[in-house]
Amino acid sequence: MRGRRADHVLVLGGGIAGIATALTLAQRGVRVTLIESRDRLGGRASSFFDAKTGLWLDNCQHVTLGCCTNYIRLCRMLGVEHLIRWDDEQYWVEAGGRTSVLKPSWLPAPAHGLPSFAMAKFLTWAEKARIGAALAQMRFLDRARYADRSFASLLDELDQEPGERRRFWDPIIVSACNLMPEHACAAAALQVFQDGFLKGAEAIRIGIMTVPLGEVYKPATAIIESAGGRVVLGESVARFDDRSATLANGQTLHADAVVCALPFEKARDVVDPALASSDSRFAPLAAMRHSPILGVHLFFDRPVLPTPHAVLVERDTQWLFRKDAEGKVVHAVISGADAWLDLDADAIAKRVVADLVACFPAAAGAQLQLARPVKERRATFAYTPGFDHLRPATHGPGGRGPFLAGDYTQTGWPATMEGAAISGFAAAACI
Ligand SMILES: Cc1cc2nc3c(=O)[nH]c(=O)nc-3n(C[C@H](O)[C@H](O)[C@H](O)COP(=O)(O)OP(=O)(O)OC[C@H]3O[C@@H](n4cnc5c(N)ncnc54)[C@H](O)[C@@H]3O)c2cc1C
């Protein structure tokens, strides 16, 4: 919006992008009406009440990194930054239990990780040398030139062999991009190494919320209300344009500006058809696809996980997170989980527990008391080669609305809480 201050803004969707937009505007005194179809805020990074356990469980463990400065800024605005626990160490565990700890040293970036990487036992010296040479080259590559290529093709070019692919590149890329290197866009993967791994000790540290994700957003409503706005939960947007939104209950709300922070498939479905045909940002959304993630909550009768988390080397279960002080409650994450979607809860639990026991043999006698898998079929957009050409700008032609926010917009990031926060701040800045 140019030249005039917006008094009232509609923000559609109460995920991280919508919350970031709404809080920024509210802190500048703008009256915001935030509309969310669920009965809680947080979108894809949220918690649900599990009747079996009587606990609030996250849909999946969400990890942030030190380089996610916009997400951290959002947490600061919500007053919850202190609830993030930071780990400098990464535990890579092989079958049999051999553990390598990757951690920063006193050396300056990009050499900060070198000493622990040199000591890592899950890679041979030859593999480490090839990975080191590839990382040294990746540091200087221009990401824009790799927007239409797969990361696997870049690994070919950098002479990476099957051993280091399976044990190093695959687990990092599938976790960060939610696709294996064969399918992941090389530009997206390069960003992970350039802005994360190689940037410095602070950038690569792992942040985990110490409370259920649902707790994180609770302060949002009071901040929005303090500027005269409101949060409308449990109401779906059925149509929107640049000045109004019609709810599924038939009510139409008007405002000076509209920010659509819905997922891309919803934005495409409920945008006013006349607007969609005149605004070139909407047609490419039809070509976007999803990639699934499986999260599994596991409850054991005794401690099974001695480390705060574990990357399981060459196992289908990629990450384990300890969810209690003792290590009896564990959360397992499988990214790029297409092959798991048709499995039932028992089959999923068997496979995950087999991976856990393979890497932590002392857990062999533990009884699994409950497994609670959560399949998120639409977890993230599939950041495949060419995806960057589909990503819409925040504003339309001439700086006009409706303004778009969401992890899928032009943030330069894979589908992450950081990307969502960036997009929300960008939409608020347009207004
Ligand atoms: C299983 C899983 C694991 C993940 N792990 C990580 C991780 O470790 N680290 C990380 O950084 N990111 C992770 N992500 C990605 C991250 O959660 C997302 O990128 C981010 O939350 C997207 O936020 P958003 O606001 O763009 O979209 P969303 O969260 O999808 O928000 C859109 C909101 O719009 C609402 N909505 C939909 N339709 C309507 C309608 N018609 N009317 C009103 N409201 C509507 C939705 O309910 C939702 O609240 C993970 C995602 C999943 C699913």
Cα separations in angstroms, 335 against 294, 372, 379: 6, 16, 9
Rounded to the nearest angstrom, the distance between the alpha carbon of 259 and the centre of ligand 1 is 16
The parent domain of residue 224 ranges over: 8-46+217-288+384-430
- Same domain for 230 and 337, yes or no, is no
- Same domain for 243 and 330, yes or no, is no
Q: Indicate the average pLDDT of the chain.
A: 96
Sign of CA dihedral 70, 75, 78, 81: negative
**By three-state DSSP, how is residue 208 classified?**
strand
Sign of CA dihedral 218, 43, 213, 368: positive
- Same domain for 244 and 294, yes or no, is no
Is 101 inside any structural domain?
no
> Could you tell me if 201 and 36 are in contact, meaning their C-beta atoms sit under 8 angstroms apart?
no
Rounded to the nearest angstrom, the distance between the alpha carbon of 184 and the centre of ligand 1 is 20
Going edge to edge, which strands form the sheet with 206-209? 63-65, 206-209, 84-87
- Same domain for 355 and 404, yes or no, is no
Which protein residue has the closest C-alpha to ligand 1 atom 15?
A: 416
Q: 231: exposed, middle or buried (C-beta count within 10 Å: 0-12, 13-18, 19+)?
A: buried
- Same domain for 306 and 199, yes or no, is no
Pairing relation of β-strands 244-247 and 237-240?
Answer: antiparallel
Is 94 inside any structural domain?
no
- Same domain for 116 and 191, yes or no, is yes
Q: What is the CATH number of the domain that holds 314?
A: 3.90.660.10
Long-range contacts of 46-55 (CB under 8 A, 24+ apart): 46/213, 46/214, 46/217, 47/212, 47/213, 47/214, 47/215, 48/214, 50/297, 50/372, 52/370, 52/372, 53/297, 53/299, 53/370, 53/372
Q: Which two tokens stand for residue 243?
A: 């000045």
- Same domain for 284 and 295, yes or no, is no
| pLDDT recorded at residue 69 | 97
Is 103 inside any structural domain?
no
Rounded to the nearest angstrom, the distance between the alpha carbon of 420 and the centre of ligand 1 is 8
- Same domain for 274 and 388, yes or no, is yes
- Give residues (CB < 6 A) around ligand 1: 12-18, 35-38, 43-45, 59-60, 62-64, 236-237, 261-263, 266, 270, 293, 295, 376, 379-380, 406-407, 415-420
| pLDDT recorded at residue 3 | 55
In this predicted model, what pLDDT tens digit does every residue of 307-363 receive, in sequence order?
999 999 999 999 999 999 999 999 999 999 999 999 999 999 999 999 999 999 999
In this predicted model, what pLDDT tens digit does every residue of 2-47 receive, in sequence order?
456 789 999 999 999 999 999 999 999 999 999 999 999 999 999 9
- Same domain for 261 and 296, yes or no, is no
Cβ neighbours of residue 342 under 8 Å, at least 6 residues apart? none
Alpha-carbon distance of 106 to 396, in angstroms, equals: 47
- Bridge partners of residue 334, in order along the sequence: 294
pTM: predicted TM-score of the whole model, two decimal places: 0.96
Ligand 1 atom showing the smallest separation from residue 44 Cα? 29
Best of 19, 44, 321 for a ligand 1 pocket test (most atoms within 8 Å of beta carbon): 44
Is 63 inside any structural domain?
no
| pLDDT recorded at residue 1 | 53
Is 209 inside any structural domain?
no
Which protein residue has the closest C-alpha to ligand 1 atom 37?
A: 262
Q: 365: exposed, middle or buried (C-beta count within 10 Å: 0-12, 13-18, 19+)?
A: exposed
Q: 114: exposed, middle or buried (C-beta count within 10 Å: 0-12, 13-18, 19+)?
A: middle
Rounded to the nearest angstrom, the distance between the alpha carbon of 9 and the centre of ligand 1 is 21
Counting as low any pLDDT under 70, the low residues of the chain are 1-4
Alpha-carbon distance of 259 to 89, in angstroms, equals: 39
Is 212 inside any structural domain?
no
Domain boundary, last residue among 176, 203, 230: 203
Rounded to the nearest angstrom, the distance between the alpha carbon of 337 and the centre of ligand 1 is 17
DSSP assignment, residue 289?
A: -
Domain boundary, last residue among 362, 381, 400: 381
The identity of residue 367, as a single letter, is Q
Domain boundary, last residue among 381, 399, 415: 381
- Same domain for 137 and 188, yes or no, is yes
Rounded to the nearest angstrom, the distance between the alpha carbon of 44 and the centre of ligand 1 is 3
- Same domain for 143 and 222, yes or no, is no
Query: CB atoms < 10 A from the CB of 315, how many?
Result: 22
Q: Give the number of domains in the chain.
A: 3
- Same domain for 283 and 311, yes or no, is no
Alpha-carbon distance of 425 to 74, in angstroms, equals: 9
Question: Secondary structure of 174-201 in the HEC alphabet?
Answer: HHHHCCCCCCCEHHHHHHHHHHHHCCCH
Rounded to the nearest angstrom, the distance between the alpha carbon of 378 and the centre of ligand 1 is 9
Rounded to the nearest angstrom, the distance between the alpha carbon of 289 and the centre of ligand 1 is 15
Q: Which helix H or strand E contains 218, and what residues bound it?
A: helix 218-226
Which protein residue has the closest C-alpha to ligand 1 atom 46?
A: 43
Ligand 1 atom showing the smallest separation from residue 247 Cα? 42
| pLDDT recorded at residue 269 | 97
Alpha-carbon distance of 128 to 131, in angstroms, equals: 5
Q: Which two tokens stand for residue 192?
A: 């992970």
